[in-house]
Each structure stands twice: as structure tokens, then as C-alpha cells.
Amino acid sequence: MLALIFAFALASLPVDAFVDRDNYLRYASSAAEIMGRGVGEGPAYIFTNEPVWLLINVVLSFFCEDEDVVRIVIFVSAFMSAYFLLRVDSRFFFVLLLFLFLPQVLKNYVIHLRQGLAVAVFLLGWFTRGGGARNVLVLLTPFIHASFFFVVVIYYCNVAFSLLRLSSSLRVALFALVGGTAAFSALWLASSLGARQAEVYGDNDLEISGLGFIYWSAIAIVYFLQGKTFLKENSFQVGMLVFYLSVYFFLPVSGRIFESALILVLVSGLRLTSWRRAFYYLLFCFYFVMQWLPRLSLPGFGWGVENYM
């Protein structure tokens, strides 16, 4: 019921009151045309420019008005993500609710709608028991939002490391190596394949404060202090964390990539024990407050069409 309320509330917000909604309305009205142009660019272009997202918009546009397409995407994404998150463990219900309202999570159902849908599909795959269905869902996500190309690489690297029974320390080193490789090759590869993100981020200067690196490094240290068993049982989440820290200073899209797996990274912290869990709660509450404080006085909590940050 809470997931339904959450999804309905977000889908009921004015469609044109937030940043980037005009682009989503354009997808709803012109997805078939965009796909047609992509066909002329070749298979690599289609492959790297989110064809499943376009196809979803094409199908929905046959039955719905443009605004309703956007509302349906928001509702489905928000409901699935909230449902899977809130049912993780009833003992941590209040903390799970805070995870859901963290700006980096909530924004997926307000402004970054493609990413929100991909996150929902990935969570569906993550919590699906059948291996075949899980693989299909996980592999669909990069074709909804391109950040999941990196997430899928980490996911299947983790699968391979588990099959090879590698130690937790060796896994961490290999995840860092994957991150280092991505940091210096990702934008070149995206440009070679014709991904539109290469144009968006290729010429941008990397403007970062370093505070995110400090905060998530602290979280990583707490995770490492929990021991080898925790690192093995949560190796994908640890892998995403190590990958993010490895590319933080080099890859402009590092934050967007990490946010695609953020829900699972946050949930893994609930498996900490003793003082480590208490310290994790303290770190998260500090982060939650510091993320919300600057937004309270901004239009649309910083996601409005004016004064966006």
C-alpha cells in the first residue's frame, strides 16, 4: 500500500513542473521517429542509445497521450522500486523508508525517469529467483539507461569471481582494476560506438568537490571492517562502491553510474553488525540531512524548472 501511495503521489505531480520533463514528453511523442533516425546510423548506434526505452515509449504512445506516457513510466518505476525496497526486512522499515526518500534515489522518479525505470527493472531481476529470467531482466537495463552498461559489467564480473571462488581481497582489487580501465576508456569507447553520452560528457570539465569521495570512502571502510564474510555476501555492492571510488576523479558520469546501484549498496549496510551498523546509521543520517537541507528552499526541492541544482 505504501508503494502504491508513493507511486501515485509522484505520478500525480504536474508533468511540466520539473527539469527535463520536456525531453520525456518529446520521447513520448517522437520515439518512433528517433528510432527511425537511429536505424540509418547503424546497429552500433541503435545498440548504445537505449532502444528498449524508445520501444516502450512507442508502444505506450499508441494507447496514451504524451503526458500519460510520462505518468505511467513514473508510476511503474516508483511502485516497483518502493515495493522491492520496503519489503527487504520489516525490522528496518523506517531506515528503508529514509533510503527511498534520499534525493539520489527519489530523483529517479522525478527528473531522471529513464534511469528510474532501469533501476526498477534491475531490482526486479535482482529479486527474481529464476536465473534465466534474472539474466534477461539484468541484460535489458543498459538498453533503457546507458549507465547500466557499467553496472552489468560489475554484476557479471562478480558472478565470475564467485564461480572462481576468489578471495574477497582479490575481488576488491579486480573491481578497482575494472574501474581504472573504465575511467580511461569509457568515453572513447562510447564515442567510437556513437553513444550520445560521449558528446554530452566528452567536452565537459570534471567539477567535483571530493566530498562524495570522502563520504563513500568512509562507508567502504566500515564495510571492509565487517570482515571477509560480509564482503563475499555483498560482493556486488562492494564492487559497485569500489568501482565508483576508482572512477570518481576521472569519469564525469561516475555519480550517475553509482546511483543506478545505490539502493542495493544502501541496503547492504543493514547487514552490518555491532558498532559498525550504528556508525553506518550515523553516517547515513548525516548524509540524508546534508542532502536535503540545501533543497528545502528551492523550487521543486531543487528539481523545479527554476533554480535547478
pLDDT, tens digit, 9 for 90 and up, residues 41-55: 777 777 778 899 999
Flag whether pLDDT at 23 surpasses 80: yes
Flag whether pLDDT at 14 surpasses 80: yes
pLDDT for 308: 45
Does 154 share its domain with 231?
yes
Does 141 share its domain with 159?
no
Does 108 share its domain with 165?
no
Please give the backbone phi and psi of residue 111, each rounded to the nearest 5 degrees, phi first.
-125, -35
Does 46 share its domain with 56?
yes
pLDDT for 188: 67
Q: Which is nearest to 57 in space by CA: 139, 117, 146, 125?
A: 117
**What amino acid occupies position 130?**
G
Among 125, 145, 165, identify where a domain stops.
Answer: 145
Does 73 share its domain with 27?
yes
Does 158 share its domain with 298?
yes
Helix (H) / strand (E) element for 193: namely helix 168-193
Inter-residue contact 263 to 99 (CB < 8 Å): yes
Q: How many domains does the structure of the chain reveal?
A: 2
Flag whether pLDDT at 209 surpasses 80: no
309 located within any domain: no
Does 253 share its domain with 128?
no
Segment 142-165, tens digit of pLDDT: 999 999 999 999 999 999 999 999
Segment 171-203, tens digit of pLDDT: 999 999 999 888 887 766 666 655 555 455 545
Does 245 share its domain with 288?
yes
Length of the chain, please? Answer: 309
pLDDT for 225: 96
Flag whether pLDDT at 309 surpasses 50: no
C-alpha angle 102-104-105 in degrees, rounded to nearest 5: 65
Does 54 share its domain with 138?
yes
Among 120, 145, 170, identify where a domain stops.
Answer: 145
Among 145, 166, 185, identify where a domain stops.
Answer: 145
Does 116 share its domain with 42?
yes
Query: Domain span at residue 248?
Result: 147-302
